[in-house]
């Protein structure tokens, strides 16, 4: 379908308005016409450019998961809302992929600084007078801001339906997560542009990009101590590698735990890492089986990056709320990844999970859910092979599995943070601070008190 021409002549500037979104009233600043925001929009280089797979893949995933006919990634200047991606709209020419800012729902998100969730646009007092309700046939609309690296709102990530509908909590989590993924894609491009512009800053920018692929802080999880370490390779220079970890809440008080390692390094590896994190988060909103979540990631690698033959290994676990006895139960699946180490309170250390198949190689990987229970005093270590394959610089000896298990056995009963510190110190001492590969660790510990 093609939308009717809404006209983009001389349009009035939209003043800041006071919009209610998700039950919160946010005082406007300069809204759409904020000069800082407009400068950030121009700096992206996205206006009036052809469709690109990274944004189309995210929008297509939104339309598929929410079952909507349309999904958009927009960047908005003071005249129009430009559709960088417009799934469900038959328009290849950038001139056809836009509408006037006065007819765009995106302006409400920008002016309010928050998401907009509309069940029926024709009756909602915020949107019923918007001309797109009639011209485009919009009924239900849900959109979250897309931010520049410094926090300015560039546009929106939104899904649109022709019929009125009540958006579920899963729908909201999905769009929120994919909007963050779109913001990350913008940040990746900005980081790459700056690196090319100033080689003197390239190493620092690459590390900033690497850090952007990891959660800045681990959330607090009821009944658990959590700790993580990320040790960057000392000889990587400006190349970014693909180790990642994540810990996030989703529906029904469950928690998702992910850790993985993307083959290769550089910007393409970083893009696969970002795809992996946000695909896992999106799939987790509607799928409880870790094996099925990893299978969905495998499908995403095949469909969204068909010409990139990179693969990754990953472990993904779902944690349930603590039981009355303090134990925490869960399921996990391994996509060709090193099995986590489970240390019981008595010092016994065992591997957990079925190895499975690496992701991005075959259409139907072998993936198996494994149930487990962490009792008071137990610890679970998720790690990448940067630990076991760390080398002693002179002898070239590997750190190895036996040394790792010994440290887990000796220090795993003291808590998540002490074990993380012990492992970091041991790896750096062994390698004389010259690690050849990035290393990621994520530790879960059930306290006894």
In sequence order, what DSSP letters do the residues of 395-429 get, joined into one string?
T--B-HHHHHHHHHHHHGGG-HHHHHHHHHHHHHH
**Is there a domain that residue 8 lies in?**
no
Q: Are residues 62 and 163 in the same domain?
A: yes
* Average pLDDT of span 430-442: 84
Domain of residue 72 covers: 19-186
**Is there a domain that residue 360 lies in?**
yes
How far apart are alpha carbons 210 and 422 in whole angstroms? Answer: 23
Please, which residues have CB within 8 angstroms of residue 338's CB and are 6 or more apart in sequence? Answer: 313, 315, 383, 384, 385, 388
- The percent of the chain in helix, strand and coil, each rounded to the nearest 5, is 35, 25, 40
**How many domains does one find in the chain?**
2
Q: Are residues 178 and 224 in the same domain?
A: no
Query: pLDDT digits over 63-83, tens only?
Result: 999 999 999 999 999 999 999
pLDDT at 240 (0 to 100): 54
How far apart are alpha carbons 81 and 8 in whole angstroms? Answer: 10
How far apart are alpha carbons 253 and 214 in whole angstroms? Answer: 22
**Is there a domain that residue 307 lies in?**
yes
* Average pLDDT of span 277-304: 91
21-25 contacts: CB < 8 A, separation 24 or more? 21/108, 21/109, 21/112, 21/114, 21/115, 21/116, 21/117, 22/114, 22/115, 22/117, 24/114
pLDDT at 211 (0 to 100): 54
* Whole-structure pTM value: 0.63
**Is there a domain that residue 391 lies in?**
yes
Query: pLDDT digits over 192-239, tens only?
Result: 777 666 544 444 444 555 555 666 678 999 999 999 998 877 654 545
**What tokens does 17 get?**
């308005």
Q: Are residues 111 and 242 in the same domain?
A: no
Distance of CA 403 to the CA centre of its chain: 33
Q: Are residues 329 and 418 in the same domain?
A: yes
**Is there a domain that residue 89 lies in?**
yes
DSSP 309-333: ---EEEEEEEEPPP-TTS-EEEEEE
Q: Are residues 301 and 164 in the same domain?
A: no
Answer yes or no: is pLDDT of 335 > 50. Answer: yes
Please, which residues have CB within 8 angstroms of residue 440's CB and are 6 or more apart in sequence? Answer: 228, 229, 230, 231, 243, 244, 245, 259, 261, 383, 384, 386
Q: Are residues 343 and 265 in the same domain?
A: yes
Q: Are residues 299 and 400 in the same domain?
A: yes
Query: pLDDT digits over 363-408, tens only?
Result: 999 999 999 999 999 999 999 998 998 888 888 899 999 999 999 9
Query: pLDDT digits over 9-58, tens only?
Result: 333 333 333 333 333 333 344 589 999 999 999 999 999 999 999 999 99
**DSSP H or E segment with residue 54:** helix 53-66
pLDDT at 320 (0 to 100): 96
How far apart are alpha carbons 388 and 400 in whole angstroms? Answer: 4
pLDDT > 70: what percent of the chain? Answer: 84
pLDDT at 24 (0 to 100): 39
CATH code assigned at 236? 3.60.40.10
Answer yes or no: is pLDDT of 289 > 50. Answer: yes
Q: Are residues 55 and 180 in the same domain?
A: yes
Query: pLDDT digits over 122-143, tens only?
Result: 999 999 999 999 999 999 999 9
Q: Are residues 67 and 177 in the same domain?
A: yes
* Average pLDDT of span 262-266: 75
From start to end of 320-388, where are the E strands?
Answer: 328-335, 341-343, 349-351, 370-374, 379-383
pLDDT at 366 (0 to 100): 96
Q: Is residue 273 within 8 Å of 264, Cβ to Cβ?
A: no
Residue 248, phi then psi, degrees to nearest 5: -150, 150
User: Which of the two residues, 355 and 319, has the higher pLDDT score?
Assistant: 319
**What tokens does 404 get?**
């790792």
**Is there a domain that residue 361 lies in?**
yes
pLDDT at 286 (0 to 100): 87
Provide the pLDDT confidence category of residue 306 given band limits of 50, 70 and 90.
Answer: low
CATH code assigned at 46? 3.30.450.40
Answer yes or no: is pLDDT of 412 > 90. Answer: no
- Which of 167, 186, 205 is the last residue before a domain boundary? 186
- Which of 139, 171, 186 is the last residue before a domain boundary? 186
User: Looking at residue 163, what DSSP letter applies?
Assistant: S
Q: Are residues 260 and 113 in the same domain?
A: no
Helical segments of 251-399, H only:
267-284, 290-304
**Order of strands across the sheet with 225-231?**
225-231, 439-445, 379-383, 341-343, 349-351
Q: Is residue 191 within 8 Å of 266, Cβ to Cβ?
A: no
Q: Are residues 224 and 180 in the same domain?
A: no
**Is there a domain that residue 10 lies in?**
no
**Is there a domain that residue 2 lies in?**
no
Q: Are residues 94 and 168 in the same domain?
A: yes
């Amino acid at each position: 379908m093609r939308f009717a021409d809404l006209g983009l002549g001389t349009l009035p500037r939209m003043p800041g308005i006071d919009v209610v979104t998700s039950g919160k009233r946010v005082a406007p600043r300069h809204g759409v016409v904020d000069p800082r925001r407009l400068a950030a929009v121009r700096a992206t280089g996205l206006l009036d450019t052809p469709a690109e797979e990274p944004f189309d893949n995210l929008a297509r995933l939104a339309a598929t998961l929410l079952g909507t006919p349309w999904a958009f990634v927009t960047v908005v200047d003071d005249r129009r809302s430009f559709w960088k991606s417009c799934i469900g709209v038959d328009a290849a020419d950038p001139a056809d992929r836009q509408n006037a800012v006065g007819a765009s729902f995106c302006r409400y998100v920008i002016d309010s600084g928050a998401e907009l969730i509309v069940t029926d646009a024709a009756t909602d007092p915020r949107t019923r007078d918007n001309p797109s309700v009639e011209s485009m046939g919009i009924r239900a609309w849900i959109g979250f801001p897309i931010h520049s690296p410094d926090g300015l709102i560039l546009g929106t990530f939104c899904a649109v339906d022709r019929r009125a509908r009540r958006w579920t909590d899963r729908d909201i989590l999905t769009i929120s997560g994919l909007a963050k993924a779109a913001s990350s894609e913008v940040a990746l491009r900005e980081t790459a542009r700056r690196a090319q512009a100033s080689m003197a800053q390239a190493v620092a920018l690459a590390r900033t990009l690497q850090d952007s692929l990891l959660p800045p802080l681990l959330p607090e999880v009821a009944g658990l101590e959590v700790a993580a370490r990320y040790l960057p390779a000392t000889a990587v220079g400006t190349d970014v590698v693909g180790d990642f970890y994540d810990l996030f809440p989703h529906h029904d008080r469950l928690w998702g735990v992910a850790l993985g390692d993307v083959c290769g390094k550089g910007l393409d590896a970083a893009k696969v890492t970002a795809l992996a994190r946000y695909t896992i988060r999106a799939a987790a909103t509607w799928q409880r089986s870790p094996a099925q979540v990893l299978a969905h990631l495998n499908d995403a690698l095949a469909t969204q990056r068909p010409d990139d033959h990179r693969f990754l290994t990953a472990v993904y676990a779902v944690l349930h709320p603590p039981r009355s006895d303090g134990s925490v139960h869960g399921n996990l699946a391994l996509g060709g990844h090193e099995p986590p180490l489970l240390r019981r309170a008595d010092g016994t250390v065992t591997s957990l999970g079925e190895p499975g198949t690496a992701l991005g190689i075959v259409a139907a990987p072998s993936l198996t859910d494994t149930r487990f229970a962490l009792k008071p005093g137990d610890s679970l270590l998720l790690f990448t092979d940067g630990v076991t394959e760390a080398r002693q610089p002179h002898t070239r000896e590997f750190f190895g599995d036996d040394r790792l298990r010994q440290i887990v056995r000796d220090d795993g009963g003291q808590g998540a943070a002490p074990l993380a510190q012990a492992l970091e110190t041991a790896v750096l001492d062994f390698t004389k601070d010259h690690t050849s590969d990035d290393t990621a660790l994520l530790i879960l510990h059930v306290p006894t008190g």
